[in-house]
């Protein structure tokens, strides 16, 4: 623990914070004033012409935000951004990114064309835009629920105190969310469809029964596949998801527990989540779900509701590593008819790194506390609580 805290302390100490000032010039534009430069020498671009600088900034935007046809215009080293995405989180991320380009005096969000330059720039701003994108991979429209124990990520951790699975447990997940197609500017927002798949396994590192496999026991594995449909407009985002999940006891657990009656906790469900970005640092979400079918050997009541909140703070730009970092805390709650609507909550606190501010894939280190019911297949109805420390990678 001391080494982890020391590591984070050194990173923060050796980092340089980005400070920007937001001023409103009119209803169509917002200027963000740059107060620091990045690690690129300012001498290399301070004498370049506006067209050259415009091409340079445009290339940066196109490289890092390939899913969107953002138009960059430069006049006297002030940057004007047109055709920004409908997602407020992604639009703010693009503005923050351009703020850090050396030589930029100000960044303006623009609904239209550059003032006093309409005839010259209108052909660029009003150029035909793509109606959709195949396989967008840089961003997600519906941001992940970081405190949900069943979020689709790659992760590994160490869990202790679990009264159901074991006192010393290693949880592992292997999963990803793959967008297939994204419609742009539909009903005033963006819409996407994709496929998501994940495997969650838990290994008891100190099983009480006769030990095999050097004392490690695979206890349970859950398999998930789903089709998420995501929609975003400004600060609102939605996810409609149809999915299948099934559970399978581990072979070592069955060997160590002869006579254990195996059932088939398999179900198909549909859920709809809504998320609102209250502020850039605070998000709330929630939604209902329906289990439309479950196996007759493990019947599950149909209705459930889940909700939660996330807070991020002390955001930092690490110049040398070209990374963004945030501390975060989040809570996720489940209310299931199957669990008699009893309390079930998961709380996390940790730190995340990403290449782009606020969006994109992230590496997270975090502590997790769960109090409620087990999430592991056949043990679903059993009460438990535990602590975990995890490392994850995903959106």
pLDDT of 256 strictly over 90: no
User: Which one has a higher pLDDT value, 28 or 349?
Assistant: 349
Tell me the pLDDT tens digit for each residue of 97-136: 888 888 888 888 876 555 555 554 554 555 556 678 888 8
pLDDT of 213 strictly over 50: yes
Lowest mean pLDDT among 113-127, 204-218, 338-352: 113-127
Domains in the chain, CATH or no CATH each: 14-129 (no CATH), 154-394 (2.40.230.10)
pTM, to two decimals: 0.76
Both tokens of 260, joined, read 């254990």
pLDDT of 214 strictly over 60: yes
Tell me the pLDDT tens digit for each residue of 180-190: 999 988 888 89
Q: Give the per-residue pLDDT at 16.
A: 36
User: Which one has a higher pLDDT value, 272 or 279?
Assistant: 272
Tell me the pLDDT tens digit for each residue of 299-311: 999 999 999 999 9
Tell me the pLDDT tens digit for each residue of 69-103: 788 888 878 888 887 888 888 888 888 888 888 88
DSSP letters, 325-365, are EEEEEEEEEEEEGGGTT---EEEEEEEEEESSSSSS-EEEE
Three-class SS of residue 76? coil
Tell me the pLDDT tens digit for each residue of 278-288: 988 899 999 99
Q: Smallest Cα–Cα separation from 173: which of 196, 153, 147?
A: 153
Measure Cα distances from 37 to 10, 40, 94, 99 in Å. 21, 8, 16, 8
Q: Summarize the confidence of residues 356-377 as an average pLDDT.
A: 90
Sheet holding 71-75, edge to edge: 21-26, 29-33, 106-110, 78-82, 71-75
Tell me the pLDDT tens digit for each residue of 29-60: 443 333 334 444 444 566 677 788 888 888 88
Q: Summarize the confidence of residues 320-338 as an average pLDDT.
A: 90
pLDDT of 362 strictly over 70: yes
What average pLDDT does the chain have? 81
Lowest mean pLDDT among 117-121, 193-197, 268-272: 117-121
Q: Give the per-residue pLDDT at 62.
A: 82
Q: What percent of the chain has pLDDT over 90?
A: 42
Q: Summarize the confidence of residues 54-68 as an average pLDDT.
A: 81
């Amino acid at each position: 623990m001391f080494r982890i805290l020391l590591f984070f302390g050194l990173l923060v100490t050796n980092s340089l914070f980005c400070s920007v000032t937001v001023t409103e010039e009119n209803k169509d534009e917002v200027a963000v004033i740059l107060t620091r430069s990045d690690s690129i020498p300012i001498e290399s671009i301070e004498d370049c012409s506006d067209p050259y600088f415009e091409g340079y900034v445009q290339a940066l935007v196109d490289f890092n935000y390939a899913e969107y046809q953002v138009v960059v215009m430069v006049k006297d080293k002030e940057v004007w951004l047109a055709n920004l995405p409908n997602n407020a989180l992604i639009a703010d991320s693009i503005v923050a990114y351009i703020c850090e380009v050396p030589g930029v005096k100000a960044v303006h969000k623009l609904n239209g064309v550059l003032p006093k330059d309409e005839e010259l720039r209108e052909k660029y701003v009003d150029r035909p835009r793509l109606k959709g994108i195949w396989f967008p991979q840089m961003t997600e429209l519906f941001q992940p629920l970081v405190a949900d124990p069943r979020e689709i990520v790659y992760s590994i951790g160490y869990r202790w105190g679990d009264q159901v699975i074991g006192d010393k447990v290693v949880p592992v997940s292997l999963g990803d969310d793959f967008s297939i197609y994204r419609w742009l500017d539909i009903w005033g927002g963006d819409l996407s469809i994709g496929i998501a798949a994940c495997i969650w396994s838990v290994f008891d590192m100190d099983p009480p029964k006769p030990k095999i496999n050097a004392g490690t026991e695979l206890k349970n594995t859950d398999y998930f596949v789903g089709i998420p449909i995501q929609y975003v407009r400004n600060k609102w985002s939605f996810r409609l998801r149809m999915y299948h999940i099934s559970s399978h006891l581990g072979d070592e657990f069955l060997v160590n527990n002869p006579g254990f009656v195996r059932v088939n906790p398999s179900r198909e469900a549909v859920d709809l989540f809504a998320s609102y970005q209250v502020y850039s640092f605070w998000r709330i979400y929630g939604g209902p779900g329906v289990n439309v079918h479950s196996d007759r050997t493990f019947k599950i009541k149909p209705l459930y509701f889940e909700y939660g909140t996330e807070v991020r703070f002390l955001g930092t730009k690490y110049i040398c590593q070209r990374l963004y970092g945030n501390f975060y805390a989040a809570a996720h709650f489940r209310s299931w008819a199957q669990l008699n609507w009893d309390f079930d909550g998961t709380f996390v606190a940790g730190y995340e790194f990403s290449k782009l501010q606020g969006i994109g894939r992230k590496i997270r280190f975090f502590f997790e506390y769960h109090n409620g019911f087990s999430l592991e297949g056949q043990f679903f109805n059993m009460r438990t609580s535990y602590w975990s420390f995890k490392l994850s990678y995903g959106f």
